[in-house]
Amino acid sequence: MDFALSEEQELFRTAIRKYMNNLNGTEAARAVIDGKLDVVKSAASGLAEMGVTAIPVSEESDGLGLGALDLVPVFEETGRVLLPGSQLETLALAVPLLESFGTPAQKAARLPNVASGASTISVAWYEKGTSLFPNSFCCVAAKTENGYALTGTKTLVPVIGDPDVFITGAQTAEGKSLFLVKASDLSSVRTLSVVDETQQLAEVTFDAAPGELLGEPGNAADMLKHGLLHFNAALCSSMVGGMDELVKMTAEYAKIRVQFNQPIGRFQAIKHGIVNMKLDLETARSLSYYAAWAVETDAVDKVAAVHSARSFISKAYIKAAGDSIQIHGGIGFTEELDVQLFLKRARYYENYFGSVRDSRKATAHSLGWHSVPAKRDAVPVS
C-alpha cells in the first residue's frame, strides 16, 4: 500500500511549513507561556488566509469539502512547532460533529464562520471525578419554551484562542445529549494550571445557559465516539509532527556536541538511540496515515485503525521526548532548549480526550477481543 501523500498535499505542506518558519518555530508557543496570547489569534488568522480552516467544511457551507487526509500535513506541521490554538478541537472534532449531526440551520449558522476563520469551537465535556464516558452527567439540561437551559460545571475545557461556541454534554430526560452553547452565555470561566503551559484549560460554569440541541437527544456518547475518530486521527498527525522535529533536533545536536574530542553521534549508544527514535517515527507515521485514510474512506476497520494508532503514537511520542532529553544530557531539561516543551506536550496529549488505556479498550472491542466468552463445561479436578 502506498502511504505517501499526493503531490498537492505535499505542496500544501511546503506552504504551511514556510508559514510556520516565518513564525520562528516554537516562538508562538513560548509567547503563550509569557502571557502574550495575541500570537494565537495572529497565527490562526494566517492559517485561515491559507484556507486551512475551510478544509473539512463542506462546499455547501462555504468550505473546501476535503477529508481527513488533507488535514495530515496541516497538523504535522503545526505539531512540529507546538503551535498553540484551537485548530484540533475546531476542525477535527467540532466540524465533524456539526457536519454529521447538525441541522441545516445549525450548519448554516456555524460552519461558514469556521471556514472563514471568524469562529472557533471548543468542546466542554469532562466533569470532576468522571471518566470520558460517565454513566450520567451532573450538568443538566432543562426544557424551556425556546429550547434548553443548561446548568452545571465542566472542567478541563480547552479555551485557548477564545472559542466563541462550546459543544457540551448534559443530562436530559432522554439521557446524555449534546448541545451548542455560546461562550457569551457562560456564567464563569476559571483558568486551570496545565503541565503544558503552551495550552489553556479552564473550568466553565453554566447557569441556565441557553443551549441548542445537537443531534438526537440521548445519543451524546455515540456521537462523541464518532467525533473522536476524526479527532484522534488528527491528534496522531500532530504527535507525528512533534516526533519528527525531536528526531531532527536530536540528530543535529549529536553532530555538534563533542566529547573525548569527537561528536557524540559517533558513539554506538547515541547512534542506536537515534535510530530507534527514527524507527518509532516511521511506524507512527504509517499508522497515522492509515488512520486518516480509514476515517476519510469510512473503512470497516476505522475504529481499530484510529485507536491502535493513538495508543502507539502517544507512548512513542513520550519515549522520543524522553530519549531526546537523555541524549541532550543536563541541558535537555533547561528552558532554553525546546526538548522539554515537546515532553510536556507529549504528556498533555497522553490523556487528551481519552487515555491510552481508553484507546486500547476501544481497539480491543472493535476487534471482538472483549466479547463474552462462551460458557465452558467444568473441568474435572483429578
pLDDT at 382: 46
pLDDT in tens, 19-32: 999 999 899 999 99
Q: For the residues 244-271, what does the mean pLDDT come to?
A: 95
Task: With beta carbons less than 8 A apart as the criterion, state whether 85 and 29 touch.
Answer: no
**Buried/exposed 273-296: b ≥16 CB within 10 Å, e otherwise:** bbeebbebbeebbebbbbbbbbbb
The H or E element spanning position 122 is strand 121-124
Residue 33: is its pLDDT beyond 80? yes
Question: Across all residues in the chain, what is the average pLDDT?
Answer: 93
Confidence class of residue 375 from pLDDT cuts 50, 70 and 90? low
Confidence class of residue 374 from pLDDT cuts 50, 70 and 90? low
Among 313, 258, 251, 311, which Cα is nearest to 281's?
A: 313
Q: What is the pTM of this model?
A: 0.93
pLDDT in tens, 157-182: 999 999 999 999 999 999 999 999 99
179's grid cell = 448541545
CA 232 from centre of chain? 6
Percentage of the chain lying above the pLDDT 70 cut = 96
pLDDT in tens, 319-348: 999 999 999 998 888 999 999 999 999 999
Task: With beta carbons less than 8 A apart as the criterion, state whether 52 and 87 touch.
Answer: yes
pLDDT at 200: 94
pLDDT in tens, 125-134: 999 988 888 9
The H or E element spanning position 177 is strand 175-182
pLDDT at 5: 83
Task: With beta carbons less than 8 A apart as the criterion, state whether 19 and 47 touch.
Answer: yes
